[in-house]
Structure 1
Amino acid sequence: MHLSSGAIILERFMVHVAKVVALAGFVAFSNVAQADGTLSDLLEPIRAQYQLPALGAAIVKDGKIVAQGAVGVRVLGMDIPVTQDDRFHLGSDGKAMTATLAGMLIDEGKLRWDSTIGEVLGPVVPDLKPKFAAITLEQLLSHTSGIPSDTEDIMKLYFSSDAFDYTLTAYRLRMISEWNAAHDLSVPSGSAFQYSNLGYAIVGSMIEQASGKPWEVLITTRIFEPLGLKSAGLGPQATFGKYDAAVGHSVDADGKVTPRPWGLSADGPAVVGPAGIAHMNVADFATWAGWNAGEGKRGPALVKPETLKRLHQAHIKTEIPHPKPGTPKSGSYACGWGLSHFDWTDKPVLVHTGSNSMNLAMIVVDVEHDTGIVAVTNFPGEKADAALLAVSKALYTQYVKAGPAP
């Protein structure tokens, strides 16, 4: 989610694919990685051109990380270099993790794709309106439920002072109840797609009700730990009182940049954690990408193969009414994943971007070539978008289209 002068700037689920101007001093695609597999020579010119504090990336092929790197500083104005072990915030790239948790419970018979809000949450959220109660899990996962993108009313629920009187699990239910009581569903003409963080918070509640465990416990014990994502955590990426990770930065309307290392201002509200508040280093992020690229066949077997395929398949076309120059007018959305056909890919690939308005992360997964690419920065905005796209294009062109240099 993004906040600007009290208004919401919607988090984009797909990156802008405008053509990137060739970078001065840009490393040739045949030599993007150094002999030791690090990416400093690729990353540093891009970081400098787009004036980012830090920039990191990794690429995984056939389940093995073949190159990774991180350059720049943890905090603007401080001479604290980032390392490959630094944690970066993933934002809504975590939606695919929540969707995978839902898939696990489907495989276990505790949820179904067509389980409704009313079936699962009706016993604990009274007086659900019929249309709201009829929303299915699959509709929530694919942003086709009729629940809107973040509005002023939704944001008031996220940031309500009442939240301090409840556990996260209990406040999610209260938030759902209050929104249901005060609003009706509205599906826009032309497409049912509405990117909804609240929708994923509801998925989190359905997961909690079906499993009997908090979402925060489940993502840790059933995603992070089985995959060996040792750097993974939730919330702000730096330890309170320390600059031990790539710290996020906010930019106000006048262009003033403020580091946001700790506390409530360093991340979105925890109640919408299922929509994306995870952080981890580039190697762990790449491991997650590689597991998806390999369709789970190398293990661990988090979900059945057919379940993962359904999470990855397109569910809804996503029309963009007024796209920027070079940006496609349409794409599609799966469950926690967008699908986009870039000018440097042969066909649509799984992709997502995530931001809490202080960081930006991008993941690209090509199942056909068993390849995953992740790119991250501790800065928001269009410059960050362009930088991550340039990194992803260079890595994909080298390792998928050209093949790694000998």
Structure 2
Amino acid sequence: MKPALVLLLALLLPVVGSAAAPAGPDPQAIDATVRQVIARYRLPGIAVGVIEDGRVVFARGYGETVHGSGDPVTDKTLFKIASNSKAMTAAVLARLVQQGKLQWDDPVVKHLPAFAMHDPWVTAHMTVSDLLVHNSGLPEGGGDLMLWPEPNLFTRDDIVRGLRHIRPAYGFRAGYAYDNLLYVVAGQVAAAAGGASYEELVRRELFAPLGLSGCRLGEFALKDAGSVAQPHGRDGDQVVRTRGDADIIPAIASAPAGGIRCTLDDMLIWANSWLAPTAAQEAWLGEAQRAEMWKARTPMPISRLKRQWDDTHYYAYAYGFRLADVDGEWTVSHTGTLGGMYSMMMLLPDRRSGFVFMINGDGGSARTVLGTALLKLFTAPGKSLGVDGYADVLATPPPAAAPKAALPDIARRQPVSASELREWLGVWRDPWFGEVRICAVGEAVEWRAAKSPKMHGRIGRLDGRHLLVWDDEAVDEDAWLAFSREGGKARLRMAKFNPDGDFSSDYEDLAFVRERGCE
């Protein structure tokens, strides 16, 4: 961390901790805020819990696990918590440090000899700590196509081997870019140091001692899990179930980065173990490792809205948590986003207060609005814009923003025949993503990934460019394809159809070379 940031935080934290805090919100205000958000964004279901001075004062489910089913969301409903899993992974590592089985400054290669980054110097110097704080040099979301769409056939060992082929976007420890793959590596480090699989370690070191009896990871049967929220999206104005669970939920490689599921009851226990730990919880993770977990590591950019709405002056990433000042108060938080599910955990440690909520619908803006409106009930109720006020700001582009170019109409695309693409048919390979087949299927041409079974689609032509449109709704972003010949080899590069699309669709990091024909 830069010395200037350390000094800034040292100066700021005592100030925000000493500010006189207004009283927390009453249950009626919380309920009214949640209901406004549900109505504004037509959410299928949500579970919300609030802690005040170490006590749960509000815990309620709204809506349905599946839209139109009549099955209610309750505090016992299981949700995907997505990237809120990261703090749990970091806590497992903290437990292993407390037990003397590893150190934060251990080189990763000490525990995983096969680990390598693109630069050999970075490989030798990357520590366990570096895996958790998004300053590795990897591009934002680099390699996420090995994690999602899920389930797929990539293993955690595939991810460890694939990292060396992903080119850095900035210097090691010289910036911030959110990544997921290194949390998967962190899970492998934990497994190596702890002598058990990541899944077993989480159950042994986290779920069991904290009593998180409803949380799940790894393979399990849907029928044995009780109430389970299913993800939803939008089809025009309609709320529709999407990417629903199969009867058997498979183990997934992405679990250390975003694959844990928990109920609201579990998440409130988890949150309160940080806000007002019992004697048993303090023994579970002592003061030294709690301090390590919440130490600012990587400065993060502060958005215009965070400055405007929250008067935020510092923003930094810790071990699986984000730290910020909001209205003169210290906050510790994280969010989760995963294919039709959104979550947030927000803690105000000096108050021993906070809240958790989980949404099973298309809720990106809803999460921002609800998180801000609930936080303001604690920190600055008199300054709150209210649900509609925050929602209206989000829906209105800033005055200085350049208008975005309209995306081409995909419906205008024309099919491409196998004879037209004859020159480019064959089996292609990217160093980390592996093989794809671009081959004739009848008169059409199909793109199909070997290790990501959901990634298959037909190639068409739109505005003079080749466009890949996926068959499976689980694949988020369609892709432009650019074929070329360089150095005597046929090459393929890809780019998101929507340049503002989700960063985990990291097509731009792929570099395919054709290896052989389709037969």
Q: Which TM class, normalised by the smaller chain length?
A: 0.7 to 0.9
2:336 maps to 354
1:59 maps to 50
Correspondence for 1:230 among 213, 219, 243 = 213
CA distance in 2, matches of 1:361, 1:58: 12
Shift of 1:306: 1.0
CA distance in 2, matches of 1:120, 1:189: 20
Bigger CA radius of gyration: 2
CA distance in 2, matches of 1:238, 1:83: 20
1:70 corresponds to 2:52: no
Question: Structure 1 residues 378 and 236, CA, compared in 2 at 3 Å: closer, same or farther?
Answer: farther
Equivalent residue runs for 1:120-131 within 5 Å: 120-122=111-113, 124-125=114-115, 129-131=120-122
Q: Is the 8 A contact 1:87 1:237 kept in 2?
A: no
Shift of 1:183: 3.1
| Partner SS for 1:229 | coil
CA distance in 1, matches of 2:261, 2:183: 18
Shift of 1:239: 2.0
2:160 maps to 176
1:332 corresponds to 2:307: no
CA distance in 2, matches of 1:162, 1:356: 13
CA distance in 2, matches of 1:203, 1:351: 20
Amino acid at match of 1:83: T
Give the alignment's TM-score, normalised by structure 2: 0.60
Deviations 1:112-144 (A, max 9, x none): 11111221111x558983322321111111112
1:33 maps to 27
Question: Structure 1 residues 105 and 141, CA, compared in 2 at 3 Å: closer, same or farther?
Answer: same
Of the structure 1 ranges 79-88 and 89-98, higher mean CA displacement relative to structure 2 is found in 79-88
1:157 maps to 146
| Partner SS for 1:301 | helix
CA distance in 1, matches of 2:304, 2:172: 15
CA distance in 1, matches of 2:197, 2:205: 12
CA distance in 1, matches of 2:363, 2:255: 22
Q: Which runs of 4+ in 1 moved over 6 A?
A: 160-163, 235-238, 252-256, 264-267, 321-325
Shift of 1:320: 4.6
Q: Is the 8 A contact 2:92 2:190 kept in 1?
A: yes
Shift of 1:372: 2.8
2:177 maps to 194
Question: Structure 1 residues 115 and 317, CA, compared in 2 at 3 Å: closer, same or farther?
Answer: same
Of the structure 1 ranges 210-219 and 374-383, higher mean CA displacement relative to structure 2 is found in 374-383
Deviations 1:262-289 (A, max 9, x none): 039999x821210121122212101101
Which protein, 1 or 2, shows the higher relative CO under an 8 Å CA cutoff with sep ≥ 6? Answer: 1
2:15 maps to none
Q: Is the 8 A contact 1:249 1:359 kept in 2?
A: yes
Shift of 1:314: 1.0
CA distance in 1, matches of 2:108, 2:147: 20
Shift of 1:304: 2.2
Shift of 1:380: 3.3
Amino acid at match of 2:213: K
Of the structure 1 ranges 195-204 and 49-58, higher mean CA displacement relative to structure 2 is found in 49-58
Shift of 1:77: 2.9
Question: Structure 1 residues 391 and 229, CA, compared in 2 at 3 Å: closer, same or farther?
Answer: farther
1:306 corresponds to 2:277: no
| Partner SS for 2:272 | helix
Amino acid at match of 2:217: L
Question: Structure 1 residues 142 and 341, CA, compared in 2 at 3 Å: closer, same or farther?
Answer: same
1:21 maps to none
Aligned residue pairs, count: 357
Q: Is the 8 A contact 1:338 1:352 kept in 2?
A: yes
CA distance in 2, matches of 1:160, 1:375: 24
Correspondence for 1:214 among 191, 194, 197 = 197
1:286 corresponds to 2:280: no
1:133 corresponds to 2:124: yes
1:404 maps to none
| Partner SS for 1:299 | helix
Q: Is the 8 A contact 2:307 2:313 kept in 1?
A: no
Higher strand content, 1 or 2 = 2
